[in-house]
Structure 1
Amino acid sequence: MDCDVFNPVDLPCGRTIENRLVKTAMYEHMANFSGGPPNEFHYGLYSEWAKHGWGMILTGNVQVSPQHLTLGRDIVVPPTLDAEDVKPFKKLAEVIHGAVDGTRSLAIMQLSHAGRQSANFIGGRPPFVPPLAPSSVCVGGGHDKNRERSAVSNLIFHALFQVPMEMTALDISNVQSSFVQGALLAYKAGFDGIQLHAAHGYLLAQFMSPKSNIRDDKYSVAPENATRMLSEIVEAIRKVVPTTFIIGIKINSADYVTSGNTEEVSQEGERRVLDHIRTIASWGVIDFIEISGGDYEKPDFMACSGSQKLDRQAFFAQFSRTVMKDLHRSPVPFSSVPLILLTGGLRSHSHLQAALMSKHADLLGIGRCAVLCPDLPKILRLQLQNNKSSSTWADKPFTREPEAVFRASKWIPSVKLIGSGVGTAWYTTRMRDIAISQIKNPRAEPPPADYNRGGLIAVFTMWAWFDCRIAPIWVLGILMVLVVTAGFSASGVIRTPG
């Protein structure tokens, strides 16, 4: 493997990524309430990333169902794909491709369906209308570790998430069609490809997990069925897009089992996800697989404290190395083997180099550091040019992270989802600051990160940013989130996607 971060690499579909640095999906929370197309805030934000030579830029999750949003301000695939519907998405693709230094980033649209993790009030449905899911198992329900959660934590889950409705054969067919619609949207808008979000407990991950799927039909979690939902979507997409259109998948690396001690959970989870990845690779039509982990019940993907980052980085890196070894021993032709994208904990140049040299990954995913330091590729290039004989800077973190904000999240280890949301809010407001700065002056440097912005201020700023024409139900949903967050903080309970 070539170990230079800035050397190009070819994808199985024939497209070339100009370097190994990938700006991974980060939820922006900038669309209209109840979902909508990209707008000037998205254009401002992505124009900043586009300036600095990322090899590939992934959007935040674009929902294929307007009735299954995450936090309300999601980008949503439109019901029709006429010129006016496609226009805002075409502008976003043009923005991502609009490099100023000659490096043209590949633009990838992440497609997602929240399934049972689409919250009450803000999920795009009328109050108390349940979301669709593989089985009628609520978030936080039917999970052995629930016994370890406090009554307060369980109350939060029941307030935010409804018992979902089990999907019928027609529901499954409609959802598959909506993913195909999303892929066609991406193609018509000029994106280079898509990423199917099959991680973090969203719908496609729900079909592959025994804790959320207890079906006994052909979409069960039996080994021969577990990836059927995903495979049928991929097959349908490949029929309507060119062979050079990129298809990636984001998949869990943990949380695949419902019980057992830590070692048993790790081994069983690793075996299951390895089986799934082997199956996915055997299709011969996937270009990259991003390794991630966690869901709303155990939000490892939003881990923020220093120790959590180190544990998360070590686990994902070792697992991704196992995946790469396994895939290159498989009977799949080398040219068809998906590239592995490792995300999480890559905070210095030495981390990047080590991941490549140790064969932990082909591609290097940067999420939160890309928000703090949008010009990271440019900075790394300059450092490599000016310090070829020196390694004094290689181990230094790319930028300072807001650890003080996250220390407050230790106040409630029993309500990890709420705690994780505080960190998410901080980064969301940081992205909004960048967007507004670029709207005002596209030539300006983004504002420095506001490390004095506390967790509760970030939560309030994230949710209080709305149009006065907002519907009353949205006001109710936002007030509920604010009251729950503030209430648990005041009582010392609070300890916070792409």
Structure 2
Amino acid sequence: MDYTIFNPIDLPCGRTIENRLVKAAMYEHMANFPGGPPNELHYGLYSEWAKHGWGMIITGNVQLSPQHLTLGRDIVVPPTLNAEDLKPFERLAEVIHGADDGTRPLAIMQLSHAGRQSANFIGGRPPFVPPLAPSSVRVGAGHTENRGRGAISDLMFYALFQVPTEMTTLDILYVQSSFVRGALLAYKSGFDGVQLHAAHGYLLAQFMSPKVWSLCTSKKLTTITCQSNIRNDEYSVAPENVTRMLSEIVEAIRKVVPTTFIIGIKINSADYVTSGSAEEVAREGERRVLDHIRTIASWGTIDFIEISGGDYEKPDFMACSGSQKLNRQAFFAQFSRTVMKDLHQSPVPFSSIPLILLTGGFRSHSYLQAALMSKHADLLGIGRGAVLCPDLPKILLLQLQDSKSSSTWADKPFAHEPEAVFRASKWVPSVKLIGAGVGTAWYTIRMRDIATSQIKNPRAEPPPADYNRGGLIAVFKMWVWFDSRIAPIWVLGIFMVLIVTTEVVYH
């Protein structure tokens, strides 16, 4: 079988992806405060991606609850789905589908609920009103790695994240109906499908895993882990209950959309493993998430499962033996291969097996091709690389057609990455989480630059990435960009997020 990245592949629902390159979800930070519909900036940004032959384009997280935002400028599902409410979303779907060269990327809307990770002040609720979560456990509570952050960081951390309110059965049913409303929004506005965000410590991940990632730095994941679900009812993390929340949502969505409507799920393998864990603990995490994926595949209703985490540029990626110390990178590389093998040996009919979308660290053509040939994935998700190089599919296709020069570019990175600007300034040494916000901010400003360029001239090339833009300058520019209607309470919230900010890049 030819595993070229430009081979089409069929989804279980019957839809075809024209190639294996997927623009992974990225948080855009472009909606109005405090959340709202897509706007001209979104249209400008996605029109650039639509030009260049991506097989599938996944939006940034579209929040189901206006009271559970991430960083305040989230796209939000409207409370009603009348013709006026649908218009901005119809325009976004049209933009994604509207490539000039006749190609038609599949448009996928990512649906998300932040749960306990919805911050105070900018989360869409009045100050100090707690968010909803499976259990009343604050983000990062009780974990040893959270100690010693420094007095300022601790103060801001506790001011930003509230102890959540445990969801009642009625709360759970309402959230499930919100996911259904989000799927109907996607279908009625012309999207090809949805992706349910069950990773990175968001609400669905909080239900599925007793330990979840909440935050990360630009170079490595940093644990803020704790027992997120200590329920004793039918939505507990007991094996017979652990995927109930997700399965009921999927079942409800399938009842109201056509069979050709795409449903994907995002899971992060690192959500199930703690940093520096012993090998047996890592194996237990692998077993748990693999059980979840087996269960999800057995439903016969899911089209793709995205597994994010890890880095394909690590030298030990292709040779990850069981005797090695299982850090997160090794765990991710080994796990993705295990999932592919396990699913194709399962009793699930071949035509119903979800495709595996792998996201995280793809930086050169050789690693994209190696992931396919080594059967680590069916689809290849690219997030930050798509921001640095929106025209990446077109560039790769041109390079492949020029076989004489293949040896000179196959191992070269797609683009220079601004890792140096992610380092925190010396004046905030005790705030260990600031690096995550710096990385997020730099790419957010880059996306805004692309969007603004396309609004001014849709036929223009996007501006080159500004590698001279410092990390703290990027953070400042990300947050000072607001309209005159912003209330003083938002300013306070922004100040706190500058000190302690969540990692929301891979949404």
TM over 0.5: yes
Counting matched residue pairs gives: 480
Give 1:190-269 correspondences, 5 Å limit: 190-210=190-210, 211-256=227-272, 261-269=277-285
Structure 1 residues 497 and 474: CA distance shift in structure 2, 3 A: farther
Partner of residue 402, structure 1: 418
- State the Cα distance separating 1:473 from its structure 2 match: 1.9
Partner of residue 302, structure 2: 286
Of 425-434 and 263-272, the range deviating more from structure 2: 263-272
Q: State whether structure 2 residue 494 is matched by structure 1 residue 478.
A: yes
Separation in 2, partners of 1:392, 1:143? 47
Of 37-46 and 148-157, the range deviating more from structure 2: 148-157
Partner of residue 270, structure 1: 286
- State the Cα distance separating 1:143 from its structure 2 match: 2.8
Partner of residue 126, structure 1: 126
Structure 1 residues 169 and 411: CA distance shift in structure 2, 3 A: same
Partner of residue 336, structure 1: 352
- State the Cα distance separating 1:485 from its structure 2 match: 6.5
Structure 1 residues 285 and 412: CA distance shift in structure 2, 3 A: farther
Cα deviation, 1:338-361, whole Å, max 9, x if unaligned, reads: 000010111000000100000000
Cα deviation, 1:434-458, whole Å, max 9, x if unaligned, reads: 0000000000000000000001000
Of 402-411 and 232-241, the range deviating more from structure 2: 402-411
- State the Cα distance separating 1:2 from its structure 2 match: 3.4
- State the Cα distance separating 1:318 from its structure 2 match: 2.2
Q: Which runs of 5+ in 1 are unaligned?
A: 294-299, 487-495
Among 359, 363, 367, the alignment partner of 1:351 is 367
- State the Cα distance separating 1:60 from its structure 2 match: 0.1
Structure 1 residues 283 and 485: CA distance shift in structure 2, 3 A: closer
Describe the SS at the equivalent of 1:321.
helix
Separation in 2, partners of 1:357, 1:411? 47
Query: For the Cα contact (< 8 Å) 1:140–1:154, is it kept in 2?
Result: no
Give 1:56-75 correspondences, 5 Å limit: 56-75=56-75
Separation in 2, partners of 1:69, 1:307? 38
Structure 1 residues 292 and 328: CA distance shift in structure 2, 3 A: same
Counterpart code for 2:20: R
Query: For the Cα contact (< 8 Å) 1:254–1:266, is it kept in 2?
Result: no
Share of identical aligned residues, percent? 84
Describe the SS at the equivalent of 1:255.
helix
Structure 1 residues 388 and 241: CA distance shift in structure 2, 3 A: farther
Query: For the Cα contact (< 8 Å) 2:423–2:471, is it kept in 1?
Result: no
Separation in 1, partners of 2:429, 2:313? 12
Query: For the Cα contact (< 8 Å) 1:412–1:419, is it kept in 2?
Result: no
Separation in 1, partners of 2:315, 2:340? 26
Partner of residue 47, structure 1: 47
Structure 1 residues 139 and 127: CA distance shift in structure 2, 3 A: same
Of 151-160 and 76-85, the range deviating more from structure 2: 151-160
Partner of residue 28, structure 2: 28
Counterpart code for 1:377: P
Partner of residue 15, structure 1: 15
- State the Cα distance separating 1:371 from its structure 2 match: 0.2
Partner of residue 460, structure 1: 476
Q: State whether structure 2 residue 159 is matched by structure 1 residue 159.
A: yes
Structure 1 residues 134 and 410: CA distance shift in structure 2, 3 A: farther
Q: State whether structure 2 residue 470 is matched by structure 1 residue 442.
A: no
Cα deviation, 1:18-58, whole Å, max 9, x if unaligned, reads: 00000000000000101000000000000000000000000
Structure 1 residues 262 and 24: CA distance shift in structure 2, 3 A: same
Separation in 2, partners of 1:414, 1:231? 42
Cα deviation, 1:365-404, whole Å, max 9, x if unaligned, reads: 0000100000000000100111257322100000111021
Query: For the Cα contact (< 8 Å) 2:399–2:406, is it kept in 1?
Result: no
Structure 1 residues 382 and 409: CA distance shift in structure 2, 3 A: farther
Counterpart code for 2:400: L
Q: What RMSD, in angstroms, separates the aligned Cα atoms of the two structures?
A: 2.5
Partner of residue 115, structure 1: 115
Structure 1 residues 148 and 306: CA distance shift in structure 2, 3 A: farther
Partner of residue 375, structure 1: 391
- State the Cα distance separating 1:309 from its structure 2 match: 11
Describe the SS at the equivalent of 1:71.
coil
- State the Cα distance separating 1:160 from its structure 2 match: 1.4
Describe the SS at the equivalent of 1:391.
helix
Of 161-170 and 134-143, the range deviating more from structure 2: 134-143
TM-score when normalising by structure 1: 0.91
Separation in 1, partners of 2:110, 2:253? 14
Describe the SS at the equivalent of 1:475.
helix
Partner of residue 103, structure 1: 103
Structure 1 residues 215 and 257: CA distance shift in structure 2, 3 A: farther
Separation in 2, partners of 1:380, 1:480? 41
Describe the SS at the equivalent of 1:392.
helix
Separation in 1, partners of 2:371, 2:273? 28
Separation in 1, partners of 2:276, 2:395? 45
Query: For the Cα contact (< 8 Å) 2:438–2:474, is it kept in 1?
Result: yes
Q: State whether structure 2 residue 153 is matched by structure 1 residue 137.
A: no
Counterpart code for 1:72: G
Partner of residue 493, structure 1: none
TM-score when normalising by structure 2: 0.90
Partner of residue 296, structure 1: none
Cα deviation, 1:75-119, whole Å, max 9, x if unaligned, reads: 000000000000000000000000111211000000000000000
Query: For the Cα contact (< 8 Å) 1:309–1:344, is it kept in 2?
Result: no
Counterpart code for 1:61: N
Partner of residue 448, structure 2: 432
Cα deviation, 1:301-346, whole Å, max 9, x if unaligned, reads: xx99999999765542321111001111111001100000010111
Structure 1 residues 418 and 194: CA distance shift in structure 2, 3 A: same
Describe the SS at the equivalent of 2:266.
strand
Counterpart code for 2:145: K
Partner of residue 407, structure 2: 391
Describe the SS at the equivalent of 2:481.
coil
